[in-house]
Amino acid sequence: MVSRKQAEKIALEMKNSIAALFHDDRVDAILFGSYARDEAEDGSDIDVMLLVDLPRSRIGEKNWEIGGIAAEFLMDYGIVVSPIVENRDYFRSNAELFPFYRNIVREGVYLRA
């Protein structure tokens, strides 16, 4: 298990990796789940929502590469990082509609580099 501060650092590194993959400097990172709630235990993963401006269809085309980045983080840090990449406008417009997004908005920690 890593500390909350370490989880935030790893999530920001994930943000940078996704920004490079999508050639997008405007990626926002939101730490959510057990680390955001300070309830992480041994075996907890680092949940991070990454918001980009690309259309959802273009994001889906990169799923294998996103998974590859997550696998590299597991090898480097010994902890599962679970990135979710979503279109920024889609997330914002559905933040109150979908309970999953509503929870991220409520409990999430917006990370700044």
pLDDT (tens digit per residue) in 3-58: 999 999 999 999 999 999 999 789 999 999 999 999 999 999 999 999 999 999 99
pLDDT of residue 36: 98
Looking at residue 24, what is its pLDDT? 78
Helix axis angle, 63-77 relative to 4-22, nearest 10°? 150
CB 44 within 8 A of CB 77: no
Of the candidates 94, 112, 111, the one whose C-alpha atom is nearest the C-alpha of residue 103 is 94
**Residue 27, pLDDT score:** 96
Could you tell me how far CA 9 lies from the centroid of its own chain? 12
pLDDT at position 13 is: 97
H/E element, 17: helix 4-22
Provide the phi-psi class of 31: left if phi over 0, else alpha when psi is between -120 and 50, else beta.
beta
pLDDT for the residue 86: 97
- Span 94-104, mean pLDDT? 97
The per-residue pLDDT for 85 is: 98
Contact of 83 with 18, CB cutoff 8 Å? yes
Average pLDDT, the chain: 96
pLDDT given at position 2: 96
The whole-number pLDDT of residue 88 equals 96
Helix (H, G, I), strand (E, B), or coil: what is residue 47? Answer: strand
pLDDT above 90 as % of the chain: 95
CA distance 111 to 54: 20
Query: Which residues, other chains included, contact 42 with Cβ-Cβ below 8 Å and sequence gap of 6+?
Result: 1
